[in-house]
Amino acid sequence: MTGIITASSGGLYTVETGEGSVQCRARGVFRHKHEKVVVGDRVELTQDGEGTVISAICERKNVLIRPPMANLDYIFVTAAASMPSPDPFMLDKLTTIAEYNKIKPVIIIGKCELDRERAAELCGIYRLAGYDAFCVSCHEGEGIDAVKKYIDGLPAGSISAFAGASGVGKSSLMNLLFPGLSLETSSVSHKTERGRHTTRSVTLYPSGAGYIADTPGFSMLDFEHFDFFTKDDLPDTFPEFADLLGTCKYTKCSHTKEDGCAILAAVRAGKIARSRHDSYLALYEILKNKHAWDK
Ligand SMILES: Nc1nc2c(ncn2[C@@H]2O[C@H](COP(=O)(O)OP(=O)(O)OP(=O)(O)O)[C@@H](O)[C@H]2O)c(=O)[nH]1
Ligand SMILES: [Mg+2]
Ligand SMILES: [Zn+2]
The CA 256 to ligand 3 mean position distance, Å, reads 7
* Selection from 223, 202, 195 nearest residue 90 by Cα: 223
pLDDT at 80: 98
Q: What pLDDT does 193 receive?
A: 85
| 209 phi and psi angles, rounded to 5 deg | -90, -5
User: What is the structure's pLDDT at 289?
Assistant: 82
User: Does the domain formed by 2-57 have CATH 2.40.50.140?
Assistant: yes
Can you give the pTM of this predicted structure? Answer: 0.95
Does ligand 1 lie within 6 Å of residue 175's CB atom? no
Q: Which fold has domain 231-294?
A: Ribonucleotide Reductase Protein R1; domain 1 (1.10.40)
Give me the residue spans of the domains in the chain: 2-57, 63-223, 231-294
* Cβ–ligand 1 contact at 237 (below 6 Å): no
Ligand nearest to the CA of 187: 1
Angle at 50 between CA 48 and CA 51, to 5 degrees: 65
Q: Superfamily assignment of 63-223 in CATH?
A: P-loop containing nucleotide triphosphate hydrolases (3.40.50.300)
pLDDT value of position 28: 78
Produce one character per residue of 233-271: b if its CB has 16 or more CB atoms within 10 Å, e if not. ebbebbebbeebeeebeeeebbbeeeeebbbbebbeeee
Q: Radius of gyration over alpha carbons of the chain, in Å? A: 20
Look at residue 295 in the predicted model and tell me its pLDDT: 46
End-to-end CA distance of the chain: 35
Tens-digit pLDDT profile for the chain (295 aa)? 999 999 999 889 999 998 899 999 998 777 677 778 999 999 999 988 878 999 999 999 999 888 999 999 999 999 999 999 999 999 999 999 999 999 999 999 999 999 999 999 999 999 999 999 999 999 999 999 999 999 999 999 999 999 999 999 999 999 999 999 999 999 998 888 899 999 999 999 999 889 999 999 987 666 555 556 889 999 999 999 999 999 999 999 999 999 999 999 999 999 999 999 999 999 999 888 876 555 4
CA distance 91 to 122: 10
8 Å CB contact between 13 and 54: yes
- Residue whose CA lies nearest to ligand 1 atom number 21: 167
